[in-house]
Amino acid sequence: MRRQNGDARLYQRSDHLIASSWIALGANLYDAKNKAETLEQIKEYAETHPDEKVIRGVGWVADKLGGRPTAKDLDTAVPDRPAIMLDFTIHDAWLNSAALEAAGITKDTPDTLPGITYWERDDDGNPTGAAIEIQWMRAYIDMGAWDAEAMVRQSSEELFTIAAHNGTTTILNPGIITPNVKDTHGGMERDFEASMEILAELEKAWCMATMCRAISASSRCREFGDPRGPIQSDRQ
């Protein structure tokens, strides 16, 4: 909080306003009380969204599930297509067998940082379905869950609207959060380009809306007897 010219101003540094609502897509699992209820909610979401190629969700808590869940657990709710559920911190993810297969996750898939960013494994080294500390991001892309053009657009339009309604007046965004955030072979650049194209469209739309409001205001001034419109000029 800072004060400038007597006015209080709030600076928020971690809102991710361009591309973060994608993490909330799909089944909302925050209120599920246990594993059975969590799986039932996922199953219900999958059954009511038959056209979604990948079933997403967010909000599970390991303690409520009796420990870290497995792909076999999730298979009971979504047996026919890839499914990925992010936990309530967004750091960990829960994948079913179809998702592991679609993303090419096998015993030979290396952990990014063993013991910190890794795949939970059984005694034989096979991934069991839990991806710990952002290990899941590459798999999210490879299984077909990520669509930069559609999801960045949806996220930007939704979050900018919320921010504006909440009184946000200025945004400085030095980077965007997508599953490509750790990518070093071009994915992050493509996501950024898509974001910039969408922002340019939004800016153009905003400029057009501003111009229309100015024209409307000018018309109202003429209606009430001022032929010069709302802007006065000192020029003769």
Give 154-210 pLDDT, tens digit per residue.
887 888 788 878 887 777 666 667 787 666 456 766 776 776 777 777 667 766 666
Q: How many angstroms separate the Cα of 127 from the Cα of each of 15, 18, 106, 119, 233?
A: 33, 32, 7, 6, 72
- HEC-encoded secondary structure of 1-58: CEEECCEEECCCCCCCCCCCHHHHCCEECCCCCCHHHHHHHHHHHHHHCCCCCCEEEE
Contact 54, 78 (CB under 8 A): no
| pLDDT attached to residue 236 | 43
What would the pLDDT profile of 82-92 be if each residue is shown by its tens digit? 999 999 999 99
Of the candidates 14, 49, 9, the one whose C-alpha atom is nearest the C-alpha of residue 28 is: 49
What pLDDT digit, counting tens, does each position of 7-45 carry?
A: 555 566 556 676 678 899 999 999 999 999 999 999 999
Query: What percentage of the chain's residues is helix, strand, coil (to nearest 5)?
Result: 40, 15, 45
The order of strands in the sheet holding 93-95 is 27-28, 55-60, 83-87, 93-95, 127-132, 118-121
The predicted structure's pLDDT at residue 141: 93
* pLDDT at residue 19, as a whole number: 63
